[in-house]
Structures are given as structure tokens and as C-alpha cells.
Structure 1
Amino acid sequence: MSLPYFHHTPETASNFAQNLRENSVEYVRFELPDLAGLSRGKTVPMNHVESYTLNGLNLYGGAVTLDSASIPIQGTGYNEDINFADCLMVPDPDTVSNVPWLANTARVICDTKWYDGRPQPAAPRTVLKNILSLAAQMGYGVKMGHEYEFYVVDAATRKPLYTGQPIFVTSLLHQHPALDKLMRVLNLSGVDMITANGEYGPSQWELNFAAMDGIAAADRAFVFKNTVKEFLHTEGLLATFMTKPYKGLAGSCSHFHISLYELASGRNVFLDAADKDGMSPIMKQFTAGILEHAAAAQAIWNPTPNCYRRIRPHTFAPSNVSWGVEDRSASVRIKASKDKRQHLEVRVPSALSNPYLTAAATIAAGLLGMQHESVLAPERSGLKEADDSFKKLPTEMHESLAALEADTDFIHMLGSEFVHVFQTVKTAEILRLREDIPAAETNEYFDLY
């Protein structure tokens, strides 16, 4: 869509409601992704859907800017500054999907606007739409996919379903019937599942779904994450995308795969068959842009203090600014298929990251590389994580926020209002969490001293 939000007419609102009725839908969940990618919204009985679709569904306007504890943060411009005013949720008909574990219920993803018709620039879906629009103005579409890891534990005991580090062990993955049910539920929810495997942690899973074009890719990632959480709860399980829930065990990531294609022809512009690694000049510039702005993007790729407990050498979680062909230790891994599948994988983002903002930050950085014709340094030999000469990524949240604040080109791409909101909310989260006394400190000092 060219507009920041879908504009409904009486005809489109009527058609939207009629299509839902024909599919026996009785309730519709109007959902939006907040700053963290969490689903917020309202559930609407079918007889009121058409009216709310046409006129917009009122919701607290600061919902998109709530912090991780649902606290309205002062100074964002979305809360006390405007007397906690409402916004309007505008459903996007292209995003309707079933909620299979609830009878006759569907969801629709919404954009948000103020009552005077202005979009909310800090809304993550709007941020990504604006970046995709810029790519389109340059003549390019974006194909992308998010690859999530998460832990699954018994909801009552918080214990994993199995122990050890049995990565790719098929029998353990299928010991619990919930996985097979979840795969079916995700498919019924409109998420095209392609693979499932166990990861390094005890009952840590990785479920992959097909890449898609444009905003639809982030929409599917949003549905995926929220479906995993909500459905497994009905099975007596708790799924967590928390980046580093356990000391000494694997963290959970969101590897991000992306390529650009020419809108006029559909041709993958990352591919150059004459290059030894299949990398076109555009792919090299795009990669260079990601590396140049990686420190600033780190704040968005890893948006909580806990995320930085994962950023450690020799853990398959990149800790420096590097690239490599098929190198799992590099920040940017070139998937050198040398055919139409040629793409790159950004391995830095955490599982807790917002899929819309991960995509927006990566695309923004890559497009800056193209606009500035950035030069990609030659690949160095050997494992990139073992090379201490690479510039290090920020290893604390306040460091990445400082890098974001200093990167004016990157801020301009993402939008100054969004970056202001993000910085304000994340700074408040850091300060709030610092007030807690970690158990490790009490254990270390309380008795002995």
C-alpha cells in the first residue's frame, strides 16, 4: 500500500465485513504491533466490524509506545503530552488470518492514525512501510524472512521439556505432541511453515517460515511470534522469546534474511553470476551500509538489556562488525547460492526484537550504503569472531542507544519522531530495571559482607 495506513470507503468496509461473514467469523481481533512487537488491540463482535472498519476503532493513542511493562513513558509525545488521547485503528484487509484455537475468530493487523487523520510515525508498522516506500522509489522491492529461536517450558514448573543440547535430534523434538499441533496451527494461521528443528538449548526450538515480499513478511513474523506464545499456553506450556533466559545456555536469536529485487522485472539485484561469490555491486553496497550503521542498528536489533548477555564471542552470536561468505560467526553472512536465492543474513538481532523494526533498521542501513555507494572491504580469511581487529558491536544497551543518537543519517531514514520515542522509552526501561537488585549481587555480598 502506498499510504501509511489503509483508507476505507463504505464499499471496502462492507466488502471486508461480508468476506468475514462468508467465512463464518463471529469475532475479529483488531491487533497492532507495539514498540516491542507485542500484539495489543481489541476484540470486536462481527455485527460491529463494518462500522469500526469504516470509521476506525478507538484505542489509547500511546499503546504503540508503551514500555515492556506497559508503562506510559513521559516525554514521548504520545502520552501525557497530549492528555492521553485516543488514536484510531485501521484494519488492513490483506492481513486477515484465522485464530484456530478460538472458535469462529479471526485477526486483522491494523495501522494507527490520530483523529485528524495523521498517521503515527512511531508505530513500528508505519516505520517499516515508510522504509519500503523509499526502496520502491529507488525501484526495488524487498524479499525477507525472520528466523526465530525460542525456549518452551512447562508453564507450571518452568522446567524444560528435555535436557542437554540435542541440536537437530529429531526424536526429542517430537517427544511432546505440542510441536506437531503448533506447526498445524501456524499453517492454519496463514504462516507458511517450512522447517522445524531443535536448537542448542534444552527444549529450545527453531521453527522457520517462508520468506515473503514487503510488509507481508513482517506481518507473518508478528503473527508467528504471538501465535507461538498464545497457542502453547493452551497446551500448558510457556514459550519465551526472551533473548538470554538461562546462564550458560544458548541465547535465542532472530536471524534476518533479505534480498532486493527489481520492481520492473522481478530480478534479484543481489545476484551477479560473474562474481566469484555471486555478489552484485548493489549487494556489496547494501552489505557495507549495514556494517557502517550496525552500531546504531544494534539498539533496535537488541532492544533490551538482557539481549546483550547473548552478544558474546564463540556463541554463534556475532560480537563484531564483520561479514563473510557462509560464515556463521560474522554479523552479516552472505548466502552465496549464486542463483535467484542469493541473499544475505544478518545474524545479530535477538529473538526479542520487533520484526517490523528489525526489518526497517536493516533496510534503512542497506539503502544508505547504496545511496552513498559504500565500498565493502574485502572479506578476511578465517572465522570472523576469532579476528580481534574488527570493530566491536556495542555490548550494553546504553552504548547502542548512544550510537543510535549519533547516527544522523540513520535517524533521518527511520524518522526522527520514531527515534525520539524509541530512545525515550528504552532509556526509561534501563533506568527502571537498574533499580532492581539482581539475585546474583545479593548472593555475592549479603552473607559474607
Structure 2
Amino acid sequence: MDKNELIKRIKESKHSKIKVAIVDIDGVLRGKFMHRDKFLSALESGFGFCSVVFGWDMGDVSYTNDIQVTGWHTGYNDFEARVDLDTFRTIPWEEDTPFFLVDFAKEKTEDLAVCPRSLLRKIIAEAENMKYTPMFSQEFEWFNFRETSDSLKEKSHQNPQALTHGMFGYSILRMSENSDYFDDLFNLLDSFGVPLEGLHTETGPGVTEAAIQYSGILEAADRAVLFKTAVKEIAYRHGIIASFMAKQTSALPGCGGHIHQSLWDLKKEENLFFDEKAKDNMSETMQYFLAGQLKCLPEILPMFAPTINSYKRLVVGAWAPINQTWGHDNRTCSLRVLASGKKSARIEHRVVGSDVNPYLAMAACLASGLYGIKNKLTLDTPETKGNGYDIKKEILPSNLWDASQKMKNSIIAKELFGNEFVDHFTKTREWEWKQFSAEVTDWETKRYFEII
């Protein structure tokens, strides 16, 4: 619906409040309720949203490591926030309360460089200038626990009770056992404008996987961000805690957040990754795109693996890649090429974990692929056939600190995303590493307490 129809609908709504939200650098949805009158006024003039959401970490601890965009040195002023009317939804589990996403601006005419959604829109504009329409989707794996926030706190987040027992992927029985929850996930997400392509149990106790239907890339990122929060909120109503940590335990595989991607023409009529006359149906555009992603991957890895925990997933034999590899329908590779269908030809980025900020991960996918097209990079990396873990070269950085330092000093990263974003983002990742490094872990206590 157009702007006037939407405003009319809001005015006539039974709801006196509107929920609005932004996504912070960690991919966490931050928001508030606004009175309907205030919201309608904000559509014309924008409104202020406290800049602290880019000045603290996911635990609301203020950064003290020379973050420039905001902080005590700025007085945590307001940033200009702009409602994106195209994101309108109603929340079915909250009596259809109206909901919108907002973007940040540094000034009325300038996007905020560190705003994840604004960064993605910037990369999309580059793609459109090159006559491409990026079509993306994301799939998530996550753990479900029969817990509440209170019970988890009482247990210090130790030994949570899994929703189901055993290693039972694609289980009809386990889904039937919790049919009310799974029915709500599928149906309520659809009503919320986050339609699923598929939903099933994954191997591991209480593990579920969902694939979101593909769309234009900005809508795909919106859906992915809203999916994670919506799943958690729906789970609450069933006495369940949903966790999107990349690696819950060393004894089980990690949780992926794989991104499927393709480029179409501006009319969305032709998939430009497919060429029936080319070898393996891979068009020249697809090969350039793939080569760009392979080259840039180690330079921008924190955008795909943003937490300390992310790197516990990227290990041999755990259904996650460890190196710069690609292969046809090969799930041991970083980039899985699926090029057999005219409409379905795509690249699956398998480095991405479930703990990512979808806007940043998709921006990184698209920008690195476009880098390959712009520079007409040759796909020199040979296809991996068989076990990708056997490839012992081009190993990716193995922890957040090393990955962040590589990105911080990367000329390519700064070319793709700009100096201001790279500086801010890598400093937030350094902060995360230093916060972790200052803690004494359970592993250390068990290993050293008595014996050392």
C-alpha cells in the first residue's frame, strides 16, 4: 500500500501505540513503543533515537576503546531516525500491533555509516547501478530448551534442558511431539511477513532448522533479523528458550545461518548466474561473483563470524567450512554452488553462522561478489571435489582477534565498506575479544584449580 493508505490504516487502527525498532551492530533488535500521534508526526520530520545503541555492546556495557561515532565524548546525543514504511507489519502474537523498522541518519541527507541496514542499502545501490537485482534468502539452525529466562539465570546458563532428546534430524516424531510450537512458528511467522520455505528438526537435541523464502536482498535481511527475534518471542509463549549461538557445545555440530544468493536483471526476469551454454551452467557473472567472494572472505570474516563463539563452529568435521573453498553441491566447502536450474542457480555461503547480524553478512556477501565482477577476477581456485577439510591451504583465521586484525588492516575491506564502518566495526570486535580475555572460564577452573 502507498504512504497515504498506510497512514489512513494507522489512524483508523484500534492501536494507540506503534512498535519501532533498529538493529544494532551485533544484530540485536532494539526498539520501543511510540504513541500513534508521535509516530505519524515522525513520518514527516523523523525523530531522535539515542545513539547509545551504537556506543555499547550487546550487554549494554559502554565501549571505552576509542569508538568515534558516539560515547561519553559526544554526550550520547540522539541520532536522526527515519521510518521505512516498506517494512510495515503487524505482530500477530501481540494483537496485531503495528510494527516498523527504522534507519539511522548522521544528518537528514546522509546515512549513518555504521548503521547495518544503511550499509546494506548502500551496497544494494551499487548493485543496481551495475544493473543487478540481488535476490537472497537465509536459513537458520538453532537450539530449543525447555527453560525460561528465570530458570536459566538460576542455573547460570549451565545444563539447560533440551526440548527433545537424541540426534534426530528430519524427525516427524519430534515435530509431532511439539506440534503446537512448530505450528505457531510456521503460521505466526507467515502472518508476520516472514514466510518460511521449510521447517524441520536438525541433528542434535532440540535443534531446529528453518529456511526463509527468498526475496530481494533488503527484504531478505529484514526477514532474517525479524525471524530471530520472532522465534524467541513465540518460543517464550511455549515455555521455550530459543538460542542462536553458533556453537552450544563441543560435543555437537554448530548452528549455521547460511545465505543463498543470486543476481537477476533489473526486471527480475533472468537469473544472471545461469548460462546453459557454459560449463556446469555457471555464467561468467557467477564465476566473477564467486571469485570475488573467495578472495575477500578472509579479509571480512568477522562479518560472517562476529563473536568469540563463532570460531568454535568453524572446525573440521562439524558441518562448517574452515578454508577458502568452493564446490558443486558440496557441503564441506565455504561456498556451495548450485547451478543446475535456470531459476534456482545460486551460491550458498556456508561460513555464515546463526549468530550473525544478517544485514552485515548479506552486505559482505554482495559487496565481495560485486568486487569480483568489477575486477573481472578469474576463478583460479580449483573446484573442491570430495572432502573440503582435506584442503590444508587457505585456512581462515581461527579466532575473532586474528580475523578482526586482518579486517582492520584490509585495503579491500575499506574499499568495500568505507573507512568509518571498518574502523567502528573492528573496534567493536576487538572489544568483544578483550571482554572475553579478561574472564576466567569454566574450562580453566576445571583444568587448573586442583592439578596445576
| Interval of TM-score (by shorter of Structure 1 and Structure 2) | over 0.9
CA contact 2:296–2:412 (8 Å) conserved in 1: no
Q: Residues 316-331 of structure 1 correspond to what in structure 2 (within 5 A)?
A: 316-331=319-334
CA contact 1:35–1:65 (8 Å) conserved in 2: no
CA contact 2:235–2:241 (8 Å) conserved in 1: yes
CA contact 1:318–1:329 (8 Å) conserved in 2: yes
Say whether 1:38 aligns with 2:28.
yes
Q: TM-score, normalised by structure 1?
A: 0.93
Query: More deviation in 363-372 or 25-34?
Result: 25-34
> Which residue of 408, 419, 424 corresponds with 2:422?
419
> Which residue of 162, 173, 178 corresponds with 1:171?
173
Query: How many angstroms does 1:287 deviate by?
Result: 0.4
Secondary structure (helix, strand or coil) at the match of 1:305 reads coil
Secondary structure (helix, strand or coil) at the match of 2:309 reads helix
Question: Compared with structure 1, are the counterparts of its residues 265 and 242 closer, same or farther at alpha carbon in structure 2 (3 Å cutoff)?
Answer: closer
Q: 1:66 matched to which residue of 2?
A: 56
Secondary structure (helix, strand or coil) at the match of 1:58 reads strand
Query: How many angstroms does 1:266 deviate by?
Result: 2.9
Q: 2:155 matched to which residue of 1?
A: none
Q: Deviations over 1:229-260 (max 9, x none)?
A: 12211221100101112221121110010000
> Which residue of 38, 41, 59 corresponds with 1:48?
38
Secondary structure (helix, strand or coil) at the match of 2:198 reads strand
Query: How many angstroms does 1:16 deviate by?
Result: 3.8
Q: Residues 255-294 of structure 1 correspond to what in structure 2 (within 5 A)?
A: 255-264=258-267, 266-294=269-297
CA distance in 2, matches of 1:211, 1:50: 31
Secondary structure (helix, strand or coil) at the match of 1:174 reads helix
Secondary structure (helix, strand or coil) at the match of 2:110 reads coil
> Which residue of 334, 338, 349 corresponds with 2:337?
334
> Which residue of 94, 111, 131 corresponds with 1:119?
111
CA distance in 2, matches of 1:265, 1:118: 29
Q: 1:221 matched to which residue of 2?
A: 224
Q: 1:99 matched to which residue of 2?
A: 91
CA distance in 2, matches of 1:399, 1:385: 22
Amino acid of the residue matched to residue 361 of structure 1?
A
Query: More deviation in 258-267 or 123-132?
Result: 258-267
CA distance in 2, matches of 1:381, 1:443: 40
Say whether 1:76 aligns with 2:67.
yes
Q: 1:249 matched to which residue of 2?
A: 252
Q: 2:207 matched to which residue of 1?
A: 204
Amino acid of the residue matched to residue 67 of structure 2?
T
Q: 2:358 matched to which residue of 1?
A: 355
Amino acid of the residue matched to residue 90 of structure 2?
N
Amino acid of the residue matched to residue 383 of structure 1?
G
CA contact 1:86–1:114 (8 Å) conserved in 2: no
Query: More deviation in 143-152 or 61-70?
Result: 61-70
Amino acid of the residue matched to residue 111 of structure 1?
D
Question: Compared with structure 1, are the counterparts of its residues 181 and 296 closer, same or farther at alpha carbon in structure 2 (3 Å cutoff)?
Answer: same
Query: How many angstroms does 1:298 deviate by?
Result: 1.3
CA contact 1:289–1:369 (8 Å) conserved in 2: yes
Q: Unaligned 5+ residue runs, structure 1?
A: 1-10
Amino acid of the residue matched to residue 163 of structure 1?
H
Q: Deviations over 1:320-377 (max 9, x none)?
A: 1100000000000001223121111000011000110000011111111111111112
Say whether 1:160 aligns with 2:162.
yes
Question: Compared with structure 1, are the counterparts of its residues 49 and 164 closer, same or farther at alpha carbon in structure 2 (3 Å cutoff)?
Answer: same
Q: How many aligned positions are there?
A: 438
> Which residue of 10, 22, 30 corresponds with 1:20?
10
Q: TM-score, normalised by structure 2?
A: 0.93
CA distance in 2, matches of 1:267, 1:57: 40
**Segments of 4+ in structure 1 off by > 4 A?**
none
CA distance in 1, matches of 2:146, 2:138: 26
CA contact 2:254–2:319 (8 Å) conserved in 1: no
RMSD in angstroms over aligned alpha carbons?
A: 1.8
Amino acid of the residue matched to residue 76 of structure 1?
I
Q: 1:441 matched to which residue of 2?
A: 444
Q: Unaligned 5+ residue runs, structure 2?
A: 152-159
